[in-house]
Amino acid sequence: MTIHYISASERGTRMKMRIIINELAKYLFLLATLFGIVVLGILLYQIFADGFSWLNIDFLTNKLSTDAEKAGILGAILGTLWLMLVVAPVTMILGVGTAIYLEMYAKKGKIQSIIQTNISNLAGIPSIVYGILGMTVFVRTLQLGNIVLAGGLTMALLILPITIVASQEALRAIPASLSEASYGMGATKWQTIKNIVLPAALPSILTGAILSLSRAIGETAPLVVIGIPALLIPLPGSIFDKFTVLPVQIYYWTLDSTMIKEYANLAAAAIIVLLALLLILNLTAIIIRNKFQKTY
Amino acid sequence: MAYSMDGEKVNVQRLIEEKQNSNKWRVRMEKVVPFILFLIASISIVTTIGIMYILLKESMQFFKEVSIIEFFTGTVLKPLSSEASFGVLPLLMGTLISTTIAMLVALPVGLMSAIYLSEYAPDRIRRICKPLLEVLAGIPTIVYGFFAFTFVTPILKHIIPELEATNILSPGIVMGVMIIPMIASLSEDAMSAVPNTMREGALALGATKLEVVFKIVIPGALSGIIASVVLALSRAIGETMIVTIASGSTKNFTLDVTQSMQTMTAYIVEVTGGDAPAGSTIYYSLYAVAMTLFVFTLVMNLFATFISKKWRYQYE
C-alpha cells in the first residue's frame, strides 16, 4: 500500500469544502422539514379561504339540501355523534379487555404471541378492507342494512388494534409495587386489577381511546363501502337509523363540485367543522393526560 | 352470641357463613373473569380469520367465473360492458404509479426531515416541528383528497396544460405529503436510537456532521429506516379517498401520469358505491381485488416487522 500525502494547503481547501457542504446540507434538511409544515399551512389556508365565509349557524343547524345556499350539516353531525355512541363503548370494552388479558392473564407463550402479532397485522390492514368486512358481515349477512350500528361495529373493529396497543402501554406503565401491595393485603387478582390497576391506568387508557376515536371520526372509506347513500335522508334518531357522517358528506360534496361550484365551499366549511371536532378531541386527550396522569 | 360495638347481638355463625359465601363468589369470579377476557381477546383473531375467510370464499366464487390467469394478466378492465373483461393490471398499474409518485415525494423529504430533526435541529425547533408534523399526520385523508382535487390539480394544470381534471399525478403528490410524517417520525426514532458515543467517536476523528450522518447514523439505523419506508409504502397502497376523489375512475393501463387512472382501492369504492347486485360477477370481482390488496399490504407489513426485528443492530 502506498501512502498518499497531501499538502497542507490542499488539506485546507478540502476541509473548507467539507465544512461548506455540511452547512449547505444542514439548510437543505431544514428546508425539507419546513416543506411538510408549509404544505400544512397552505392546506389549512386554502380550506379556510374556501369555507370560512360559508360557516354560520344555519350551516350547522340546517338539514342537507340540494340547494347549496340552504344546505346544512346537522344530519352529518348527528350521524357522527350516533356513530361514536356505538364505536366508543364497543372499542373500549374490546380494547381494554384484550389489553388486560394480554398484560395480566396471558402466559408468555404461543397464544399470547399469536394474538400480539395478529394485532400488529390488523393495524396494517387498509381501512377499506374493514369496510368490505363490515359490508359482508354486518350489512348483508346479518342484514342490519346500512345503519349506524353496522357502521359503528365496523369502525370499532378498525380502531380496535390502536386502542388495544394504547391500553397495553397504559397498563404496562403501572408499577408492580402497586399490585404487589394489593396482593399483600389479601386481594385476589381480579380485585387488584379492578380496584388498583385499572383506576391507575384509566387516564392513559382514556387518552388512547380518545385518540383512536378521532381516527374513526375522520375515516371515510369503510363507510362509503358499507353504502351510505348520497341522498337526502331523515335525521338519525337511534342506532338503527340510516345515517351520514361528516367525512362522507365532504366526499359527496367534493365529487359533485364539478357540477355545482358552491359544493366545494360547502365541503370546505364541513372540513373546518371536522377539523375543529378533531382538535377538540385531541385537546381533551392532552388535558386528561397532563392533568391526571401520574408518573410512577 | 357476641355483641357488636353498638351493643347489638351478632350471629357469629352467620357472619362466618356470609364471609365464606362471598369468598366462594370471589373464587368463582377469579375463574370466570380470565375466561371472559380471553373471549374478548380472541375477537381480534376472529376478525383476522373473518377477513381472510370472506375474501377467500368470495374470490373463489369470482375465479369460477373468470379464470385466475385472465384476472392477473388481463390489461383490460371493463366490468360494466356487455363483453365484460376483468383484468386487474390497470388497477395494479394505477396503484403502482400513485405509490411511486408518493414515494418520490415522501422518501427524500421524509428522510431529510428525519435527519434534520435527529441530528441538526436545536431543541427549540424540534419541539415546534415535531407536533406540527404530527398534525399533518392526523389530518383525515378525505381532507387531503379535497386539497388534491380543488387546489393541487388546478395548480399543476398551469404547469402541465395537458393534465386532465382527474389524474394520477396530483393525488400521488398529495399522498406523498401525507406519508412524510410517517417516514420522518419512524426514521427519526431509529436514528435517535444510535448511541451518541458512536457519533462522538466519528466527530473526534475529524468527521463533519454530514459525514457522521451518512457513515455512522444512517448505516446504524438502516433497519428502522427501511421498516419505516415499507410501512409508508403499505399505507400508500391502501390509501383510498385521495385517489378516489382526485384520480377518477377511468381504468387506463398506461404510464402517462397526466391521465386518470384507477387504483385497487378506488375500484372497490366505485363498485360498492354503485350498488352492484350481490351475486353478479362485478360484485365478486370486488373481493378478488380486495384480496390482492390485502395480500400486498400484509406481505409488506410482515416484511417491515421482520426487518426491524431481525436486522436491528443491538447496541450495548
What local confidence, expressed as pLDDT, does residue B91 receive? 92
**pLDDT at position B254, please?**
83
Q: How confident is the model at residue B156 (pLDDT cuts 50, 70, 90)?
A: very high
Q: A106: Cβ–Cβ under 8 A, 6 or more apart, which residues?
A: A112, A115, B41
Segment B97-139, tens digit of pLDDT:
999 999 999 999 999 999 999 999 999 998 898 888 888 888 9
Distance CA A80, CA A249 (A): 11
pLDDT, position B314: 65
Which chain B residue shows the shortest CA-CA distance from A161? B44
Cβ–Cβ below 8 Å for B113 and A29 = yes
Whether B183 has a pLDDT exceeding 80, the answer reads yes
pLDDT at A288: 87
pLDDT tens, residue by residue, B51-71:
999 999 999 999 988 888 888
pLDDT tens-digit map of B264-296? 999 999 888 766 677 788 888 999 999 999 999
Phi, psi of A245 (to 5 degrees): -130, 170
Q: Is the Cβ pair B141, A220 closer than 8 Å? A: yes
Across the range B168-181, mean pLDDT stands at: 94
In this complex, do A264 and B238 lie within 8 Å of one another by their Cβ atoms?
no
Task: Render pLDDT for A125-171 as a digit per residue (tens, 0 to 9).
Answer: 999 999 999 999 998 888 888 889 999 999 999 999 999 999 999 99
Closest approach of A61 to chain B, Cα-based (Å): 22
Is the pLDDT score of B312 beyond 80? no
Judging contacts by C-beta atoms under 8 Å, the chain B residues touching residue A218 are 138-143
Q: For an interface test with A, give the residue of B26, B36, B153, B241 to mutate (most A CBs within 10 A).
A: B241
* A231 phi and psi angles, rounded to 5 deg: -80, 170
Higher pLDDT, A173 or B18: A173
pLDDT at B83 over 90: no
Q: What are the 10-residue block averages of pLDDT along chain A, 296 residues in total? A: 79 90 94 93 93 85 77 88 94 95 88 88 92 91 87 95 94 91 90 92 92 92 84 78 90 87 90 94 88 74
Backbone angles phi, psi at A72, to 5 degrees: -135, 175
DSSP β-bridge partners for residue B77: B86
Query: In angstroms, rounded to a whole number, what is the distance separating the alpha carbons of residues A151 and A149?
Result: 6
pLDDT at B1 over 60: no
Nearest to B103 by CA among B229, B256, B262, B257: B229
B109, B132, B239 ranked by CB distance to A40: nearest: B132
Q: Tell me whether residues B132 and A133 touch, CB distance under 8 A.
A: no
Higher-scoring residue by pLDDT: B48, A56:
B48
Rounded CA-CA distance B259/B167 in Å is 5
**Between β-strands B85-86 and B9-10, what pairing exists: parallel, antiparallel or unpaired?**
unpaired
| Confidence check: pLDDT of B4 > 80 | no
| B58 vs A: CB within 8 A | yes
Does the beta-carbon distance from A118 to B58 stay under 8 Å? no
Chain B residues with CB under 8 Å of A271 CB are: 142-143, 146
Q: Do B245 and A255 touch (CB under 8 A)?
A: yes
Contacts of B138 (CB under 8 A, 6+ apart): A214, A218, A278, A282
Contacts of B139 in chain A (CB under 8 A): 40, 43, 218, 275
